[in-house]
Amino acid sequence: MTRSSASSAFLDVLAGRSQNVPPIWMMRQAGRYLPEYRELRAKAGGFLDLCFTPEFAAEVTLQPIRRFQFDAAIIFSDILVIPYALGRAVRFEAGEGPRLDPLDTPELIATLKREADFATLEPVYEALRRVRAELDRNVALIGFCGAPWTVATYMVAGQGTPDQAPARLMAYRHPDAFADIIDALVENSVRYLLGQLKAGADALQIFDTWAGVLSPREFARWSIEPTRRIVAGIRKEVPDAKIIGFPRGAGALLPAYVEATGVDAVSIDWAAEPELIRERVQSKVAVQGNLDPLALIAGGAALDRAVDDVLENFARGRLIFNLGHGILPETPIAHVERMIARVRAYRG
């Protein structure tokens, strides 16, 4: 397997070595707040065309690195490429978010393929190879997938919903059928993430954006357990694979998530309670986060204060500076520059 060619502050933190100046990148750092992204997006046509054209995907992955010299690049793709490769219809309509054909009855779930068509995902691997070849050694490359729970919420409802009620109801009413979706996602995500490592990813992130809507019992079953299986499946093949989990909104359930899944780091949102994180999470693994993306839109003194809070709360331990969720399209580029300068000026 072609393993990491990078040696970076980002990977050092994941390996347990905290840095004086925390490495920094942003979730959704390639995206609509960048004019160069909007230009290429228009040229590519559809969003999936952008994801599945290696030349384009590699280019948009590199755009924020050139502009901001982040410590890590994340491959440009989407969590919904797995349902797509499983044969589900996936469309991205401008201004509306993703649309899928809903999988909302046990009968429909019974028709779901168990194995994804990995030829569909080959362009993602090719984009990873191209990006790794162009990146400096000290910039890490992150591969990713959605966690089974979060991907399943979109597959069941056919779209994003405010509280993921359709998937929660399905999981209560038909847990066995719902578990079939989860199992298919676990198996294919392991294979997909291993493929990304082989293609040059230095670390992996598992996005569980909707973990926070689950009760503790359902969280253990649908967020922790599938993520644990993915981590175990990867480590069976690549024992030292570096994996970041992002169970957004998990709050006081984070220590249990860290304990059970075996991830090397967790990405935390801005509502996380600092003392709980320091004592029961950062004492065990690295922490990534957790600036409120709205503070980044606000800018000025509010942004400075929010940046300082993240640093004061977490920079004495293993920290990768990031946002608590993805950057929003209306964010001014000057505010991103201001945030980065302030983080890089930090001296413990």
Q: Between helices 54-68 and 118-134, what is the axis angle to 10°? A: 40
- Please report which helix (H) or strand (E) contains residue 295, including its range: helix 293-298
- CA–CA dist 150, 171 (Å, integer): 13
**Is 125 in the active site?**
no
- Please report which helix (H) or strand (E) contains residue 307, including its range: helix 300-314
Contact 192, 128 (CB under 8 A): no
Q: How far is CA 136 from CA 22, 66, 126, 131, 199, in A?
A: 18, 11, 18, 10, 16
**Is 28 in the active site?**
yes
Q: At closest approach, how far in Å is the CB of 339 from ligand CP3?
A: 16
Q: At closest approach, how far in Å is the CB of 38 from ligand CP3?
A: 8
Contact 6, 140 (CB under 8 A): yes
Strand, coil or helix: what is 142?
strand
Interface contacts to ligand CP3, rule CB under 6 A: 27-32, 41, 47, 74, 76, 78-80, 92, 97-98, 144, 146, 150, 160, 207, 209, 326
Q: At closest approach, how far in Å is the CB of 79 from ligand CP3?
A: 4
Given 37, 41, 192, 264, the catalytic residue: 41
Q: Using the minimum distance from each CB to ligand CP3, give the nearer residue, 82 or 285.
A: 82
- CA–CA dist 186, 82 (Å, integer): 11
Q: Using the minimum distance from each CB to ligand CP3, give the nearer residue, 160 or 317.
A: 160
Q: Using the minimum distance from each CB to ligand CP3, give the nearer residue, 299 or 326.
A: 326
Q: At closest approach, how far in Å is the CB of 110 from ligand CP3?
A: 25
**Is 278 in the active site?**
no
- CA–CA dist 242, 197 (Å, integer): 10
**Is 32 in the active site?**
yes
- CA–CA dist 54, 132 (Å, integer): 12
Given 33, 154, 192, 257, the catalytic residue: 154
Q: Using the minimum distance from each CB to ligand CP3, give the nearer residue, 75 or 112.
A: 75
* Helices and strands (DSSP H and E) totals, the chain: 17, 9
The pair of three-digit structure tokens given for residue 189, joined into one six-digit string: 């995500």
Q: Using the minimum distance from each CB to ligand CP3, give the nearer residue, 45 or 97.
A: 97
Contact 284, 276 (CB under 8 A): no
Given 33, 37, 78, 269, the catalytic residue: 78
Q: Using the minimum distance from each CB to ligand CP3, give the nearer residue, 206 or 315.
A: 206
Given 28, 130, 132, 248, the catalytic residue: 28
Q: At closest approach, how far in Å is the CB of 74 from ligand CP3?
A: 5
**Is 137 in the active site?**
no
Strand, coil or helix: what is 87?
coil
Q: At closest approach, how far in Å is the CB of 160 from ligand CP3?
A: 5
Q: Using the minimum distance from each CB to ligand CP3, give the nearer residue, 279 or 337.
A: 337
Q: At closest approach, how far in Å is the CB of 202 from ligand CP3?
A: 15
Closest CA to 211 of 259, 158, 269: 269
Chain residue at closest Cβ approach to ligand CP3: 209
The 8 Å CB, 24+ separation contacts for 270-274 are 270/295, 270/324, 271/324, 272/324, 274/313, 274/314
Q: Which residues pair with 109 in a beta bridge?
A: none
Given 12, 32, 104, 191, the catalytic residue: 32
Q: Which residues are catalytic?
A: 28, 32, 41, 78, 154
